[in-house]
C-alpha cells in the first residue's frame, strides 16, 4: 500500500502522476473505511482528496502554511502528514486524532479550526507576519464556497486585497457547506463555472486550430496546458478583481495533472490570488455523492449500504421543529431561521411544512439574529435555530438588536452541553453564561424531549427574548416524571424531596441527579432533585422553600461562570449567607473529544461523580 509509505509530505514529491492517482484512490478508500468505523465528516473529506494531494505536492508543508477553513476536509491532509495509522485507528476517539486541524497535534496543522469563514483572516495574519519577519514561505487558505456565505471572509478579502499581501486563497466550490448553499454568491459561482463566453471561446479555438494541418492538434494541446490562465479574461471574475485579488479558474478539482500545474503557476505569482477549484462532495462513494448533506457528519456506518449504526436516540432538533411546525399551523407570525443548518438543527421539518416562513441565510449567524430582530419588530414571531457553539458569533446581535429592544425572538440552541467526538471547537458549554448575563432574556433548558415540547409551546405565548437550550439527542423521562401542570416562566419543579441534600439540576443533568439520589440513599443520605429548568429568571419561591434542606448542590452542563451555580450563590449571599452550597459544572478548561459519557465522567457530572462529590462534602 502506497499510503503506508507516506510519512511526511516530502514523500509524495517522489511519486509519478500515475502513482499519485493510485494514492488518491487508496486515500479515498481509507477515508470511507475509517469514517465507517469511527464516524466523522465523510462527504467533505472525500471531495478534497486530489486537491489536498496537489497542494502537498507543490507546496512545502510545514514551511509553507496550509490553513483549512472549518477543517472538516482535513483527513487527507492528516494522512499525508504522518498521521495515517493514528487516523485509521483512533479518529475522534478519546486520546486519539481530532477530526479537525489541531496545532497541538502536528506542526503541519498551521491553525486550529472548527468554525467556518476564519481561514482567510488567519492566513492574512500569517502572511503579514512573514513579510514583517523577512521570511519567504507561502500561505494558502483552503476555503469552501459555503464559508463565503459568512461575512468574515469579505472583511478579510477586502483587507488583503487592498494591501496587496502575497497569499493564495483556494476556493473549493462544491455547492455545499453542510446543507446546499444558498444566496446570490452561490449563483454567481455557478455562473463562473458555466460561463458561456468562455465555453464559446474554447470551442472556437479548438475548431480553428483543428483546421490547421499538421500543427493544429499539437498547438491545441499546448494551449490546453495553459488554459486555466488563458480562460480567466473570458470568465467574469470582476467581483474578486474589485476586492484586489487576481481571480483564476475554475479548474476540475479531481484532475491531479491540472491541479498540480495550476498550483505551480500560482506559486510563482506575487499578488493575492483566488484560485477557483470545482469538486464533488462525497466523490467516490455513491451514497455520499447522492446525499452529501446526509453524509456530511455521520455516525459509524455499513460501507456496503451506507446505513448508520449509531445509537438510536430522539433528535431534539427534530422534536422542536415538529412542535414549532404544528404551532405555526394556527399562527401565521411563527417563522424559523437557521444558518446553513436546516438538516443539523432539524428545521428542514419546519421548512417542508411552511416553506414560505423558513429562512436559511447561509453561514451568517450575526445576520440571522439581526434579521430575526427586524422580523420581530415588524410583528413576526421568529425562532432562530443554531448550534450553541456557532451562536457565540452572534452575541453582540443578541445583546444589542434583540435584548435591548426586548423583541420576541426565541433562540433554539441546539447541541448545547458536551458534544462528544467533535471536541474543543464544538462544545456547547458557554451558552448559559452568555445568555444569562443579558437583561430581558429568559433562559430555559428542558430535562427531556417531552419537556422541550412544553417549552416550545410556552415560548409561543411569551412576548420577549427567550433561549431554549438542548443537547443533540434526548430521551423521554415522562413515564416517571409526568406532570399536567402548565409551565410558567421562571417556575421550577420539585421532582423528589430530600432532607439532607437537594440537587438543583439543569436540563440533561436531571437524570444523573436522580440516579445520584438513589446511590446516596444506599449510603444513608436523603437527597432530592429540583428541575431548575429556568436558569433565568430563577424560582426564588422554590429557593426560599428549600432552605430547610441543609446542603444545596447545583448541577449544570455548562461552565460555572455565569451559569445557575453562580446565580444561586449570589442569591444565597444576599438572602441566606450561612447556607451550605456547592456548584458542579464543566471545569475551566477546553474539553477534548471523547464520548459524551466519558466527558461527563471527566467533569464529575455523571451520577457517580455527583455521588462522590456529595459524599466528599459530607465527609463520608
Closest CA to 507 of 493, 488, 526: 493
Active site amino acids: 281, 365, 393
Distance of alpha carbon 175 from alpha carbon 186, whole angstroms: 7
Instruction: Please give the Cα distance from 144 to 41 (Å, whole number).
Output: 14
Residue 475, all three cell numbers: 430521551
CA distances from 425 to 47, 48, 100, 161, 390 (A): 23, 21, 9, 29, 9
The angle formed by the CA atoms of residues 455, 493 and 314, to the nearest 5 degrees, is 45
Q: Is the peptide bond before 43 cis (omega within 30 degrees of 0)?
A: no
Strand residues in 303-456 grouped as ranges (E) = 314-315, 334-338, 358-360, 381-387, 410-414, 442-444
Strands 381-387 and 466-469: unpaired
Instruction: Dig out the grid coordinates for 153 from the structure.
Output: 471572509
Q: Is 166 in contact with 271 (CB distance < 8 Å)?
A: yes
Is the separation of the CB atoms in 202 and 307 below 8 Å? Answer: no
CA 299 – CA 293 distance, rounded (Å): 13
Which is nearest to 105 in space by CA: 600, 593, 587, 601?
593
Which residues are 385's β-sheet partners? 338, 412
Amino acid at each position: 500500500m502506497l499510503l503506508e509509505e507516506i510519512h511526511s509530505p516530502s514523500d509524495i514529491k517522489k511519486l509519478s502522476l500515475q502513482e499519485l492517482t493510485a494514492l488518491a484512490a487508496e486515500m479515498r478508500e481509507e477515508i470511507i473505511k475509517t469514517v465507517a468505523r469511527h464516524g466523522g465528516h465523510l462527504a467533505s473529506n472525500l471531495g478534497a482528496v486530489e486537491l489536498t494531494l496537489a497542494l502537498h505536492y507543490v507546496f512545502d508543508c510545514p514551511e509553507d502554511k496550509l490553513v483549512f477553513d472549518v477543517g472538516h476536509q482535513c483527513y487527507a491532509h492528516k494522512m499525508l502528514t504522518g498521521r495515517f495509522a493514528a487516523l485509521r485507528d483512533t479518529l475522534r476517539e478519546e486520546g486519539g486524532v481530532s477530526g479537525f486541524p489541531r496545532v497541538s497535534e502536528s506542526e503541519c496543522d498551521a491553525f486550529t479550526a472548527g468554525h467556518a469563514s476564519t481561514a482567510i483572516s488567519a492566513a492574512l495574519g500569517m502572511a503579514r507576519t512573514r513579510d514583517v519577519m523577512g521570511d519567504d514561505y507561502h500561505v494558502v487558505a483552503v476555503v469552501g464556497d459555503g464559508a463565503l456565505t459568512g461575512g468574515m471572509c469579505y472583511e478579510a478579502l477586502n483587507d488583503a486585497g487592498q494591501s496587496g499581501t502575497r497569499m493564495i486563497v483556494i476556493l473549493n466550490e462544491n455547492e455545499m457547506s453542510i446543507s446546499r448553499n444558498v444566496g446570490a454568491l452561490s449563483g454567481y459561482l455557478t455562473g463562473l463555472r458555466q460561463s458561456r463566453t468562455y465555453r464559446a471561446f474554447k470551442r472556437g479555438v479548438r475548431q480553428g486550430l483543428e483546421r490547421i494541418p499538421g500543427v493544429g492538434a499539437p498547438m491545441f494541446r499546448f494551449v490546453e496546458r495553459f488554459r486555466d490562465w488563458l480562460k480567466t479574461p473570458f470568465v467574469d471574475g470582476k467581483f474578486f478583481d474589485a476586492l484586489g485579488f487576481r481571480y483564476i479558474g475554475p479548474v476540475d478539482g479531481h484532475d491531479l495533472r491540472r491541479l498540480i500545474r495550476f498550483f505551480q503557476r500560482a506559486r510563482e505569482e506575487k499578488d493575492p490570488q483566488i484560485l477557483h477549484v470545482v469538486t464533488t462532495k462525497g466523490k467516490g462513494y455513491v451514497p455520499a455523492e447522492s446525499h452529501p448533506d446526509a453524509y456530511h457528519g455521520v455516525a459509524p456506518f455499513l460501507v456496503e449500504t451506507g446505513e448508520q449504526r449509531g445509537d438510536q436516540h430522539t433528535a431534539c432538533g427534530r422534536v422542536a421543529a415538529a412542535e414549532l411546525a404544528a404551532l405555526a399551523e394556527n399562527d401565521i407570525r411563527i417563522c424559523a431561521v437557521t444558518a446553513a443548518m436546516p438538516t443539523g438543527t432539524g428545521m428542514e421539518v419546519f421548512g417542508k411544512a411552511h416553506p414560505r416562513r423558513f429562512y436559511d441565510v447561509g453561514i451568517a449567524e450575526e445576520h440571522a439574529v439581526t434579521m430575526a430582530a427586524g422580523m420581530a419588530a415588524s410583528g413576526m414571531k421568529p425562532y432562530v435555530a443554531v448550534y450553541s457553539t456557532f451562536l457565540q458569533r452572534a452575541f453582540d446581535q443578541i445583546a444589542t438588536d434583540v435584548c435591548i429592544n426586548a423583541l420576541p425572538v426565541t433562540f433554539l440552541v441546539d447541541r448545547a452541553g458536551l458534544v462528544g467526538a467533535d471536541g474543543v471547537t464544538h462544545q456547547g458549554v458557554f451558552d448559559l453564561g452568555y445568555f444569562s448575563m443579558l437583561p430581558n432574556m429568559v433562559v430555559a433548558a428542558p430535562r427531556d424531549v417531552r419537556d422541550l415540547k412544553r417549552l416550545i409551546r410556552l415560548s409561543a405565548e411569551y412576548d420577549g427574548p427567550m433561549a431554549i437550550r438542548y443537547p443533540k439527542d434526548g430521551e423521554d423521562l415522562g413515564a416517571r416524571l409526568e406532570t399536567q401542570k402548565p409551565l410558567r416562566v421562571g417556575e421550577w419543579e420539585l421532582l423528589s424531596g430530600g432532607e439532607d441534600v437537594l440537587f438543583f439540576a439543569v436540563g440533561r443533568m436531571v437524570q444523573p441527579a436522580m440516579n445520584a439520589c438513589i446511590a446516596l440513599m444506599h449510603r444513608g443520605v436523603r437527597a432530592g432533585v429540583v428541575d431548575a429548568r429556568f436558569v433565568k429568571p430563577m424560582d426564588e419561591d422554590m429557593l426560599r422553600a428549600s432552605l430547610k434542606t441543609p446542603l444545596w448542590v447545583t448541577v449544570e452542563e455548562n461552565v460555572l461562570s455565569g451559569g445557575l451555580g453562580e446565580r444561586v450563590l449570589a442569591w444565597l449571599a444576599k438572602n441566606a449567607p450561612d447556607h451550605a452550597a456547592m456548584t458542579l459544572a464543566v471545569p475551566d478548561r477546553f474539553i477534548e473529544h471523547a464520548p459524551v459519557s466519558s466527558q461527563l465522567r471527566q467533569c464529575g457530572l455523571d451520577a457517580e461523580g455527583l455521588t462522590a462529590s456529595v459524599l466528599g462534602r459530607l465527609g463520608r
